[in-house]
Structure 1
Amino acid sequence: MLRTVNRVLLGVIGLVLLVLGGSVLAVGLGLDAPSWWIHDSSDDVLLSDAERTRWRDSGWWWPVVIAVLAVLLLLLLWWLTAALRRRRLAEVLVDTGDGEGALLRGRAMEHVLAEEAAALDGVETAHVRLKGRRSSPGARVRLQLEPHVDPATALAHVTEQALAHARDSAGLASLPAEVRLRGVKHRAERVS
């Protein structure tokens, strides 16, 4: 959901900036603008002399403008790097034992690991996400446990069974994992 909102927001901002920049460029090149547009001709300027020099005598104006623009630039750069950064491991390098290697899709390994973890006694749902490099992946596992399950037992089962099987089947020397356990909350029901 957050990814969709992020893409829609980036698309809307990009479209607004493209339309505004394109219209200013079109008016600057001599094309006729609509009567309601803020610029009338190619001789018109974005900021008039009065608008540019309005706050010149105030000592706080330019430092505030520069600080706001710098913060805005840093926020936009952070947003861009967050949008471009991969959150998931796309593939895992599997040692085939013959000096060559095979690539295993990360989502396939995540799916199998989640299915095996969810099949354990007392685990209602399991979510797995791989992280790290393809030659040395790590796993982030979230488990929802039923109320009767001991968390230490569930953690031992996940570690000794699901994670060990994934590590052995992919031929990895180690598969470090961060396991988060959460109890399932059931709604109270009225008994009559």
Structure 2
Amino acid sequence: MLRTVNRVFLTLAGLVLAGVGGVVLALAADLPSRLGVGLPADWSWQGPDSAVLSRADRLHWRGESWWWPVVIGTLAVLLLLALWWLLAQLRRRRLGTVDVDTGDGQSAGLRAGAVEDVLTAEAEALPGVERARFTLVARRAGPGARVGLLIAPQARPRDVVETLRDRTLENARVSAGADDLPAEIRLRATRHSADRVS
């Protein structure tokens, strides 16, 4: 969800900034008068020599009782949203420890990095996988995994993913005692440079 919020927020911010920047550049270059486009008469900024806001515009709402509460409230909401977004970026999504079932009805807490190393080694032993990288992540519903695989050129991606799911991810799920272990798998093929034959 955070990734979607980031994309939507950055897209909207980019569109607003691009639009405002385009209007400012057009007015600063006096494009409307050069192109014969008339601006609304109540616009205070008519060209490069005029102010963006006239004195009357700047002082227009100061006498209203609702003006300052609305300004302060809006700025406070924007500040809280910005802080929430910043904290969401900084929040650690990687797991610190993983509870592993010991087989006797008990569980042991293992460092997530050690579990990731074991899963990485197991994935790299699979046919068609040249390099792997496991990252265990925290989710609300339980642990999840992000897997990056570098596969050999002759490997079939579907077979690699199915083998990874049936062996490595299943072993990890059973060891963690989880009902399921959602995984995001990213595949990349190895690129070999052609050998020069003389």
Secondary structure of the 2:55 match is coil
Alignment equivalent of 2:171, drawn from 161, 165, 188:
165
Show the counterpart of 2:184. 178
Q: What displacement does 1:141 show?
A: 0.9
Counterpart contact for 1:89–1:134, Cα < 8 Å = no
Question: So what's the TM-score if we normalise by structure 2?
Answer: 0.55
Show the counterpart of 1:27. none
Q: What displacement does 1:60 show?
A: 5.5
Counterpart contact for 1:110–1:129, Cα < 8 Å = yes
Identity in percent = 48
Question: So what's the TM-score if we normalise by structure 1?
Answer: 0.56
Counterpart contact for 2:101–2:175, Cα < 8 Å = no
Q: What are the superposed Cα offsets for residues 33-62 of structure 1, whole Å, 9 maximum, x if unpaired?
A: xxxxxxxxxxxxxxxxxxxxxx88252699
Q: What are the superposed Cα offsets for residues 61-111 of structure 1, whole Å, 9 maximum, x if unpaired?
A: 999x9889976774455223312x112011112234555432121111111
Show the counterpart of 2:145. 139
Show the counterpart of 1:22. none
Structure 1 pair 190–76 and aligned structure 2 pair: CA distance change class (3 A): farther
Show the counterpart of 1:34. none
Counterpart contact for 1:89–1:131, Cα < 8 Å = yes
Question: For 1:180 and 1:72, how far apart are their aligned partners in 2?
Answer: 36
Q: What displacement does 1:142 show?
A: 1.2
1:81 maps to a residue whose letter is A
Q: How do 1:75-86 residues align onto structure 2 when only pairs under 5 Å count?
A: 75=82, 77-83=84-90, 85-86=91-92
Q: What are the superposed Cα offsets for residues 161-188 of structure 1, whole Å, 9 maximum, x if unpaired?
A: 2112222333333322222212112234
2:89 maps to a residue whose letter is A
Q: What displacement does 1:138 show?
A: 1.4
How many residues matched?
136
Structure 1 pair 164–72 and aligned structure 2 pair: CA distance change class (3 A): same
RMSD value, Cα: 3.4
Q: How do 1:1-192 residues align onto structure 2 when only pairs under 5 Å count?
A: 57=55, 59=57, 74-75=81-82, 77-83=84-90, 85-96=91-102, 100-133=106-139, 136-192=142-198
Counterpart contact for 2:93–2:138, Cα < 8 Å = no
Gaps of 5+ in 1: 1-54
Which is further off, 73-82 or 144-153?
73-82
Show the counterpart of 1:10. none
